[in-house]
Amino acid sequence: MDINSEIAKLNWKREPYGLYEPIEYTLAAGGKRVRPQLAMIACQMFGGNEEEALPAALALEVFHNFTLLHDDVMDKADMRRGRPTVHVKWNENTAILSGDQMLIEAYKLLSDVPSDKLPKVLRLFNKMATEICEGQQYDVDFESMEHVTKDEYLMMIRLKTSVLLATALQIGAYIADADEQAQEALYQFGIAIGLAFQIQDDILDVWGDPKTFGKAVGGDISCNKKTFVYLEAMRRLGDEAKNLEQWYSQVLEDNTEKIAAVKAIFEQLGVREACENVVEDYTQKALAILDTLPQNVATDQLRHLAHKLHTRKD
Amino acid sequence: MDINSEIAKLNWKREPYGLYEPIEYTLAAGGKRVRPQLAMIACQMFGGNEEEALPAALALEVFHNFTLLHDDVMDKADMRRGRPTVHVKWNENTAILSGDQMLIEAYKLLSDVPSDKLPKVLRLFNKMATEICEGQQYDVDFESMEHVTKDEYLMMIRLKTSVLLATALQIGAYIADADEQAQEALYQFGIAIGLAFQIQDDILDVWGDPKTFGKAVGGDISCNKKTFVYLEAMRRLGDEAKNLEQWYSQVLEDNTEKIAAVKAIFEQLGVREACENVVEDYTQKALAILDTLPQNVATDQLRHLAHKLHTRKD
């Protein structure tokens, strides 16, 4: 079952076009479709019926894209996946309303989950959706907090990024009648690879190769974003934190000097290696969990995914 | 069972406060709570268990308030129910995110519907939510269309306002195990009173008494809103429509003269009485439907409500 073809089958040629065109646009932009794939893989791991898992898998992808649409409005981002964001191509009101409809469409897809499984799938989905909004709120709160601890940051990225991966896996397994322990194990695998993924993202933002990395290098430094890399540096600096804080209190037009200076501070402190070790730890934790689950093609696919997320350069 | 106390029992004292405070603020603003009451009344009409209908009733009210929150952002409205709107009191991003969470909270409440009823309730709710977004889109589309027919306008207000009332009634009846015909009858009753309500709203916007009417009189005229009143006037004017269109192409600081002039055109054409007759027709249609349903206290409550919506001055 090919997720991209299933997504392409969703019909958005409905009136009023002003509501549905932006939804079609958003979903047509592509993306790796990791989240629905995780749900399908987890279902396959337990010998479940793929047809039964598909509606939830699609719901997760539509939901994920809804969060991107509204996030782009809130972040005032002009581009996503190399194309203008919806509020730029159309307008802000369209981004809000079509985003709302995307969230509803996710719940419409969910309603095609087998009836006996619907109550729990709905609860898992709602819990995940809530946690993602909470993560987004914490992310916003942290922008105006002078001091954010690494634990707070990990909590935020767990909510904002990991729980979606974790829930996709758990839902897929639940639909295939996996027992509670297996569901929980897959959920924790998802949390672990999600954290590894986001911290790797933070590392690449500083040290990524512009040719392979999809975004401008140093974006987080430019925006004074307190990522895992920055927080590790602050932790190591202690009293000497002033210099770094100084750079991080500035909003500049040209960030070339700032990025170079901050990157140098990070490198002096050995922060890169420390962060890469944390990514490695979470990845190992994830792989260890996989060893406790049924060993089959699906498990190998998840091993491969964990490795890919860990070693990626983009 | 008192809806307002049940709403007050919902606990929003959760972290992150930035996400939940605006939700609490929005729900605390009051309002007549018509929609949840309709669900409860419909449930009572068929001797259903109120406890079973309550989660859906609350979901409908939370959903309704979510639509108001996002609508106010899109309309750039400063006040609602005599208080600053959320994007004014906090900011626009908060209004978007907390609004998203309110929609999710509605679905969380829905998940407490009895399991055997959940699949259908979810479908009814999703269909309603979709139609409301479609109605909102049509409303936006109409602003830039030179010619809107009365049928198009009725379609828009049916989607934007009526389907929520209709669905509240149908869900309440369904939970009480009313048969399909009864559910459909109540749905159509809801559509009829919703249309009567909105057209009455359009009439009051022109002829309401500022002392009793909650909003500034002539607001629709000031904004060139093509309401039922305006459309009826345009229909009667035919070739002489230019004068009215002239006023409706202007955006002014001081609308005193415009309101008086347009109101005079409406009165010359006898538009008020024509619109009031339409309100009366929809109300009679609604009451006729009630006569086909079980006759009890609940039916009387709905009769009373239809009458109240019809004769209200605010």
pLDDT digits (tens, 9 = 90+) for A294-308: 999 999 999 999 998
pLDDT at B86: 97
The backbone torsions φ and ψ at residue B14, rounded to the nearest 5 degrees and listed phi first, read -125, 155
pLDDT for A57 equals: 98
Q: What was the pLDDT predicted at B240?
A: 75
What does residue B296 show for φ and ψ, rounded to 5 degrees?
-160, -170
Evaluate if residue A96 carries a pLDDT over 70: yes
ipTM over 0.90: yes
B59-77 per-position pLDDT tens digit = 999 999 999 999 999 999 9
Mean pLDDT, rounded, of chain B = 93
Sort out which chain B residues have CB atoms less than 8 A from A69's CB and list them: none
Nearest CB to A134 within list B16, B126, B129: B16
pTM here is 0.94
Give chain B's residues under pLDDT 70. Answer: 213-215, 314
Minimum mean pLDDT among A120-134, A229-243, A247-261, B179-193: which range? A229-243
Return the percentage of chain A with pLDDT > 90, whole number: 84
Gyration radius of chain A's alpha carbons: 20
The per-residue pLDDT of chain A, averaged, comes to 94
User: How far apart are alpha carbons B79 and B68 in whole angstroms?
Assistant: 11
Q: What 3-state DSSP class applies to A283?
A: helix
Question: A111 to chain B: which residues are within 8 Å by CB?
Answer: 119, 122-123, 126
Q: Taking CB atoms and an 8 Å limit, are B97 and A16 in contact across chains?
A: no
Across residues A7-29, what is the average pLDDT? 96
A29's CB contacts (< 8 A; 6+ apart) are: A80, A81, A83
What residues of A are in contact with residue B68 (Cβ under 8 Å)? none
Q: How far apart are CA A173 and CA A166, in angstroms?
A: 11
Q: Report the alpha-carbon distance of residue A78 to residue A72 in Å, rounded.
A: 8
Q: Would the CB atoms of B96 and A97 count as touching at under 8 Å? A: no
What does the pLDDT read at residue A214?
62
Q: What is the pLDDT of residue A41?
A: 97
Question: Residue A110 corresponds to which tokens in the numbers above?
Answer: 């969910």
pLDDT at site B29 = 85
What residue type is assigned to position A248 of the chain? Y
Biggest CA-to-CA distance, chain A:
61
A230 near A265, Cβ under 8 Å?
no
pLDDT score for B1: 81
* 3-state DSSP assignment of residue A59: helix
Mutation for testing the B interface, residue in A73, A97, A142, A158 having most B CBs under 10 Å: A97
Task: Give, rounded to a whole angstrom, the gap between the first and last alpha carbons of chain A.
Answer: 26
Residues forming beta bridges with residue A79, ordered by sequence position: A84
Label residue A125 by pLDDT band (50, 70, 90): very high
Q: State whether residue A169 is helix, strand or coil.
A: helix
Peptide bond just before A210 cis, omega within 30 deg = no
Of B63, B68, B59, B70, nearest to B96 by C-alpha is: B70
Res. A136: pLDDT tops 70: yes
- Comparing CA positions, the residue from A164, A163, A177, A128 lying closest to residue A294 is A177
pLDDT surpasses 70 at A213? no
Question: pLDDT tens digits for A97-120?
Answer: 999 999 999 999 999 999 999 999
pLDDT at residue number A223:
86
Whether B133 sits inside 8 A of A104 (CB atoms) is: yes
Question: Cβ contacts (< 8 Å) between A123 and chain B: which residues?
Answer: 111
- Can you name the residues that pair with B80 across neighbouring β-strands? B83
Strands (E), chain B: 79-80, 83-84
Q: What pLDDT, on a 0 to 100 scale, did the predictor assign at position A128?
A: 98
Per the CB < 8 A criterion, the answer to whether A39 and A171 are in contact is yes
- CB–CB contact A119 B115 (8 Å): yes
Tell me: pLDDT of A30 over 90. no
Amino acid at A223: C
Packed helices A118-143 and A150-157: angle between N→C axes, nearest 10 degrees: 140
